[in-house]
Amino acid sequence: MPHLAIRGGAPVRPPRQAWPTWPPISTRAVDLISQVVRSGQWAYDGPMEWQFAHQFAAFSRARYCLPVANGTVAIQLALEALDIGAYDEVIVPGLTWQATAAACIDVNAIPILVDIDPRTYCLDVAQAEAAITPRTRAIIVVHLYGAMADMDALRALARRHNLHLIEDCAHQHGSQWQGKGVGALGDVGAFSLQSSKVLTAGEGGLVLTDDWTLFQQLYSLRNCGRPLQPGAPTVQSGNYRMTDLQAALLLAQMEEMEERVNRRDANAQYLNRKLAEVPGITPMLRYPAITRQSYYCFTFRYDERAWDDIPVAAFRQALSAEVGLNVGTTYEPLNDCALYRPHTKRRHRLSDDYWQAIDPARFDLPLCHHAFRREAVVLWHPFLLAERADMDQIADAVAKLYEHRDELRSLTT
Ligand SMILES: Cc1ncc(COP(=O)(O)O)c(C=O)c1O
């Protein structure tokens, strides 16, 4: 009789037991949307949008928040507000969604891809320092995979070299470093509000900053160059706005945001403690300065050597069958990523030098590739809203796979 669900054995979690679903559907959201529909004020700068912006700034312990069209343009506008443009170099981690690097190219800057710290899968500070040249203007740190880079070291590095620090927080609404929210730790923070994210309007984004001058600049850039203060100078820009209909969805979620982020963090910490007991499983490093960790993707590291060389892909499939969740890996490293192809757009050919400089293949990212191919185990966040007993099932499933690894290995031969 097989033990493992993937071979026909009984799964740890009965298939009829449902997991929490996402996005959250509430009568409050429906009420607020109806209010906007009836008000006729559907466009940007509506009352709900500003109410949401104030709430999210307070939630993140930031001074200013500005909703924008999506997370990609949030990064683009952050770069433009900091006056980063043609031929400027921007340090970007090699393991992130393509938008982090693509936004740099969209402002004619050069993304310099840097490898990760294998303990966090976030930007490695020493390698970031080694990549600094006289052309470097900014570092974009991406908080992802349920971990953070060493933000004290990174902020000190940016200060020492007079560089701007941009945070891509698409995965971590509500994470805090020593009590301060992500997005407010550097010059500008960029967030995505796309439908899979932990705060969502279907599509959308926002930027945070503590700097009033930058906020005014960001406001103009998102609004076709119109100044926030009447009479102030105009600038060249496009339309990167959000609507009050989207803000209504966001306002409804803000009522439960603290509770949800805290609940995910408590469940993740509990699950990490249990997973750490299984040989060859390592939770992501959590720096003591992290006072709250937000999760878009709960992630842990699998050591194939401790699992008799069973490939992580087989482990993921078997775990998925035990608990009824999708179990995946990280984003593709950007030096070989199907959706990061800067050379497919002719407008990127500013010059031969620029064309060569933006070639992703010129960067070496061995640790990103190891995480992506050999190590990472990644689960999407809704399951973290379930109960403690549900976390036990996941830990039990991992322990079960270890116990029956002979059976697991037979899948791979
Ligand atoms: C790390 C990261 N940055 C930026 C983005 C871009 O956000 P959007 O899809 O809202 O444009 C995403 C989206 O998934 C992301 O994961």
**What tokens were used for 340?**
């990061």
C-alpha of residue 144 to centroid of ligand 1, in Å: 11
- Local structure of residue 383 (DSSP, 8 states): G
Predicted pLDDT at 383: 98
Give the residue, out of 70, 121, 144, 192, with the most ligand 1 atoms within 8 A of its beta carbon, to mutate for a pocket test.
192
**What tokens were used for 39?**
């008000």
Pocket of ligand 1 (CB under 6 A): 70-72, 96-97, 99-100, 142, 144, 168, 170-171, 192, 194, 205
Print pLDDT tens along the chain (413 aa): 899 999 999 999 999 999 999 999 999 999 999 999 999 999 999 999 999 999 999 999 999 999 999 999 999 999 999 999 999 999 999 999 999 999 999 999 999 999 999 999 999 999 999 999 999 999 999 999 999 999 999 999 999 999 999 999 999 999 999 999 999 999 999 999 999 999 999 999 999 999 999 999 999 999 999 999 999 999 999 999 999 999 999 999 999 999 999 999 999 999 999 999 999 999 999 999 999 999 999 999 999 999 999 999 999 999 999 999 999 999 999 999 999 999 999 999 999 999 999 999 999 999 999 999 999 999 999 999 999 999 999 999 999 999 999 999 998 87
C-alpha of residue 358 to centroid of ligand 1, in Å: 20
C-alpha of residue 120 to centroid of ligand 1, in Å: 19
Q: What's the Cα-to-Cα distance from 382 to each of 13, 259, 310, 315, 389, rounded to whole Å?
A: 16, 14, 28, 21, 15
Give the residue, out of 68, 70, 72, with the most ligand 1 atoms within 8 A of its beta carbon, to mutate for a pocket test.
72
Predicted pLDDT at 411: 86
**Angle between helices 244-275 and 388-403 in degrees, nearest 10:** 50
pTM: 0.98
Residue 89 near residue 133 (C-beta atoms within 8 A): yes
Among the atoms of ligand 1, which is closest to the Cα of residue 197?
A: 14
Predicted pLDDT at 135: 98
Give the residue, out of 194, 294, 337, with the most ligand 1 atoms within 8 A of its beta carbon, to mutate for a pocket test.
194
Among the atoms of ligand 1, which is closest to the Cα of residue 196?
A: 14
C-alpha of residue 245 to centroid of ligand 1, in Å: 21
C-alpha of residue 192 to centroid of ligand 1, in Å: 5
Among the atoms of ligand 1, which is closest to the Cα of residue 70?
A: 10
C-alpha of residue 203 to centroid of ligand 1, in Å: 10
Beta-carbon contacts of 111 under 8 Å, excluding residues fewer than 6 positions away, are 90, 92, 100, 101, 104, 105, 334, 358
Give the residue, out of 75, 96, 97, with the most ligand 1 atoms within 8 A of its beta carbon, to mutate for a pocket test.
97
Long-range contacts of 273-281, Cβ-Cβ distance < 8 Å, separation of 24 or more:
274/391, 274/392, 274/395, 275/300, 275/394, 275/395, 275/398, 277/395, 277/399, 278/395, 278/398, 278/399, 278/402, 279/306, 279/307, 279/402, 280/304, 280/305, 280/306, 280/307, 280/402, 281/398
Q: What's the Cα-to-Cα distance from 50 to each of 2, 87, 130, 264, 290, rounded to whole Å?
A: 57, 35, 41, 27, 29
Predicted pLDDT at 314: 98
Among the atoms of ligand 1, which is closest to the Cα of residue 168?
A: 3
Predicted pLDDT at 152: 98
**What tokens were used for 43?**
């466009």
CA gyration radius, the chain: 22
